[in-house]
Amino acid sequence: MVTQNDRPTLEDVAAFAGVSRSTASRALNGDPNVSRQAREAVTAAARDLGYSPNQAARSLVTRRTGAVGVVLSEPEELVLADPYRTSVMRSAYRELADLGSQMVLMFCDGREDVARTVRFLDGGHVDGALVFAPHRADPLPRALRPLRPPVVFGGPAGNLSRGVHVVDFDNESGARLAVEYLLRHGRERIATVAGPQDQTAARHRLSGWRKTLSAAGFDSTDLTDLAEEADFTLDGGRAAMDRLLARRPDLDAVFVASDLMAAGALRALHDAGRRVPGDVAVVGFDDHPALATAMNPPLTTVHQNPADQVRHMVATLMALLAGEPIRPHRKVLEVLMKVRGSA
Amino acid sequence: MVTQNDRPTLEDVAAFAGVSRSTASRALNGDPNVSRQAREAVTAAARDLGYSPNQAARSLVTRRTGAVGVVLSEPEELVLADPYRTSVMRSAYRELADLGSQMVLMFCDGREDVARTVRFLDGGHVDGALVFAPHRADPLPRALRPLRPPVVFGGPAGNLSRGVHVVDFDNESGARLAVEYLLRHGRERIATVAGPQDQTAARHRLSGWRKTLSAAGFDSTDLTDLAEEADFTLDGGRAAMDRLLARRPDLDAVFVASDLMAAGALRALHDAGRRVPGDVAVVGFDDHPALATAMNPPLTTVHQNPADQVRHMVATLMALLAGEPIRPHRKVLEVLMKVRGSA
DNA sequence: GTTATGATTGAGAGCGCTCCCAACAACGCG
DNA sequence: CGCGTTGTTGGGAGCGCTCTCAATCATAAC
């Protein structure tokens, strides 16, 4: 016993409508050179027969699948727990859907996943890919380079710096803005909770903090004291803040490299009896819509808009798919301070 | 200027290896009837040429794509904010990846999305689909029924009850377990924060609560007083709890229809100065790994395992794809109480 | 009436792959 | 030595679609 193989083909529709396969194809694809009569007959036939075109056959000849891969090169449990990443996914989904492309979501965690990802992207399943590979040691970007379908990276492409299309935020400037703001408001001992230093964005945020303070005349050994690394999670941010408070009880401000960590830092400060922003000013990074405003006090933070990033990435990808000769380059998006209550 | 069309085909590989296309195909697909010599030549040729098979061509003849759609029939911003849904996605991704299938994630929000979803699933982009459509009024399940590729529903399939493959949890029993537990521990005024009643699961949890209390002799008008509806969010749970406290300050227990709402209820109880579980016992639903244990006190809750659900769904789908004649039916998964600190 | 023009149309090739089938060599057996 | 058998191979058809090209027809122009 076999399943129903009664799936109608274009040929069936054409026969039913009393025209040729070519005409049926034209009618269904909106070619203007079809008589109204033929068009109507074909449309009706397609409806009556429950016809839907075979995508495999179509993309075999058009060389388009209508799908775009979105690759998050991180363990999936991490991605889905991170509000910033999920909002990237969301924007990507919406942006692509509006352009008529389907998002094919992939996580890439570990060696065999790299091979699987490469095979998938190179196998013609998708027209192109949007790739987020924040870790410096990630082998994926390099593995992706020789592939046929165009790839646009969101944020740093592992340790690749040339020959790739990148849409990134100006993390260092963001950190500078935050620190300058704190300095301008009279803060004198500005600590930082940095992100994991195996991620380029986290490094840039840290170096922005360091450079700005150095330029303002702060001692570099002093700075070492005022920095703690955490892992972009709430608990990590909290623990890092605890360590900072233990080592430098005199700190009066902290620049935290993500909103989620800032939430943790806020909690640590609260538990330690420090008032925010009275005793300690806190500036976050991301400006996550739900998170930043929900905190108490609402978080002053560096605003970056993942939807913007995704929009640029999609635009670049579409241009590439349209055959426009775009030279691989790194587009850097501005970030800006969003002042709320915490600093 | 065109892009590089130098993508090698199987024909190229065969020529390079000095064999026929058939032999090359066999070699690459692991057919045993190939001489070692031919196999090695083909493998080497494929490697040297950077060959990767054209999936469109392959799936045109095999009628398999190696991709499975995962449809979440809810606005994407809602899905990605809900820890329960994200853990479903995660399980689905992992489960499918392990079976060599790619997850194609789709959200389905509103009318035009229904059409788009149907078109995509029916167009042969995927071999089958896992669909989550919790809302009773959702038109998607009905629209999906006439489709060719097999579909397995996770949780209720809109308002469809027959002719569909469903893997669901026993929500009513879960509520019963929770209420019986509370009764057994001497609670006498057991309220509930119900989920949105346009979702079947939420209705079953509410009716489980009601039936159990009725069976225990509680007055049904009294029960109306003890129920509040919320929207499965933290803030909603908090507000509902506030309303309950205002109306029935004498309540000594509450069954909350989701962990996230329970977190909100806990906050409301805390703000109202009630001790948990001393004054008010709280039982949640979901047993979300991160959420339930992180609360203070740790949440006593009804345990359901989304990974289990997804595993059953995938198993059913694979059986369907293998042509096994499975009769559409509703598989109900057991839930059980997980006792922690809050009750 | 004849020819140019434009709008429609159908035939056919071919996208890159899998799979069926026939061909063939090499082998052992009666 | 002829036969079937086994293992291996290449040819060819065909999956369902798009797209080019030439044919057809009606209409307008001369």
Residues 105-124 of B with CB under 8 A from A: 105-107, 113, 116, 119-120, 122-124
Interface probe for B, chosen from A148, A235, A320, A326 (most Cβ of B below 10 Å), is A148
- The residues with which B160 forms a beta bridge, in sequence order, are B157
Query: CA B308 to CA B301: how far, in whole Å?
Result: 17
Locate the chain A residue with the closest alpha carbon to B3.
A323
Distance B118 CA to D13 C1' (A): 33
pTM of the full structure = 0.83
**% pLDDT > 70, chain B:** 96
Which residue on chain B is closest to A106 by alpha carbon?
Answer: B103
Q: Cβ of B66 < 7 Å from strand C?
A: no
Higher pLDDT, B288 or A83: B288
Tens digits of per-residue pLDDT, B298-340?
899 999 999 999 999 999 999 999 888 899 999 999 999 999 9
Give the model's pLDDT for residue B81. 65
Select from A60, A93, A102 the Cβ nearest to the Cβ of B56: A60
Alpha-carbon distances of A10 from A15, A265, B258, rounded to whole Å? 9, 62, 49
Q: Which nucleotide is nearest to A21 (CA to C1')?
A: C10
Q: Which nucleotides of C are covered by protein (CB under 7 A)?
A: 7-12, 14-20
Instruction: Please write the tens of the pLDDT for every residue from B12-24.
Output: 999 998 999 999 9
Q: Across the strands, what pairs with B8?
A: none
Is the pLDDT at B135 greater than 70? The verdict is yes
pLDDT category of residue A1 using cuts at 50, 70 and 90: very low
**For the residues A54-77, what does the mean pLDDT come to?**
87
Chain D bases closer than 7 A to any CB of the protein: 7-12, 14-20
Return the nearest residue to C7, CA–C1': A33
Residues by CB within 7 A of strand D: list them. A 7, 9-11, 21-22, 25, 28-29, 51, 53-54, 57-58, 60-62; B 19-23, 26, 32-38, 57, 60-61
Residues 260-319 of B with CB under 8 A from A: 290
Within 8 A of B146 by CB-CB distance, chain A residues are: 50
Q: What percent of chain A has pLDDT over 90?
A: 53
In which region does residue B158 sit, left (phi positive, over 0), alpha (psi from -120 to 50) or beta (all else)?
left
Question: Does B57 lie at the interface with A, CB-CB under 8 angstroms?
Answer: yes
Entry field: residues in chain B: 343
Closest listed residue to residue A107, CA positions, set A128, A86, A137, A124: A86
Locate the chain B residue with the closest alpha carbon to A76.
B90
What confidence tier does B162 reach under pLDDT thresholds 50, 70, 90?
Answer: confident
With distances taken from each CA to the C1' atom of nucleotide C12, the closest residue turns out to be A22
pLDDT band at B3 (very low <50, low <70, confident <90, very high): very low
pLDDT at A77: 65
Average pLDDT over residues B193-205: 95
Residue A78, pLDDT > 70, answer no
pLDDT of residue A81: 65
d(CA B156, CA B170): 11
Where residue A74 falls among pLDDT bands split at 50, 70, 90? Answer: confident
Burial-class residue B137 by CB neighbours within 10 Å (0-12, 13-18, 19+): exposed
Single-letter amino acid code for the residue at B290: A
Q: Tell me the mean pLDDT in the region B202-226.
A: 92
- Across the range B47-72, mean pLDDT stands at 90
| In chain A, residues 142-181 whose CB comes closer than 8 Å to chain B | 146, 148
**Closest-approach residue (CA) in chain A for B83:** A81
Q: What is the mean pLDDT of residues B131-159?
A: 90
pLDDT at B109: 78
pLDDT at B76: 67
Mean pLDDT on A158-178: 93
